Amino acid sequence: MKHVNVCWFEIPVKDMKRAVTFYEKIFDCQLELHQIEEFDMAWFPFDHEKGGASGSLVKSNELYKPSDKGVVVYFSPVLCGYSLGEIYCVGFQYFSHSIFVVLGVSVYF
């Protein structure tokens, strides 16, 4: 069977400042802010030698809308090293405890 690698993801946000603050705190990293046409973007750091996927937070008044109806990206809670209680303190809104324990955290900004 052929293996398909994900190389880029985009997470829609309404409140870019809040979303950037959340992800930078949880992952202890610096997101890189960009303006591309009408899109406000905050790119996650990426190391080409380590591989994997990278992506961006994206704010657009017309095209991107945060929703539980579209594609959902799951980050491993093991990667960030925070407890669920600590994640609440930086803006997480609880949607599904079972998803958090098994797959990761779902947040909408």
80 Cβ contact list (under 8 Å, min separation 6): 26, 27, 28
In this predicted model, what pLDDT tens digit does every residue of 24-72 receive, in sequence order? Answer: 888 889 999 999 999 999 999 988 888 778 899 999 988 888 877 777 7
- Domain membership flag for residue 67: no
Please report whether residue 96 resides in a domain: yes
What is the separation, in whole angstroms, between the first and last Cα of the chain? 37
In a domain, 92, yes or no: yes
pTM of the model: 0.70
Number of domains the chain is built from:
1
* Ordered strands of the 39-43 beta sheet: 8-12, 54-59, 39-43, 32-36
Residue 83 parent element (H or E): none
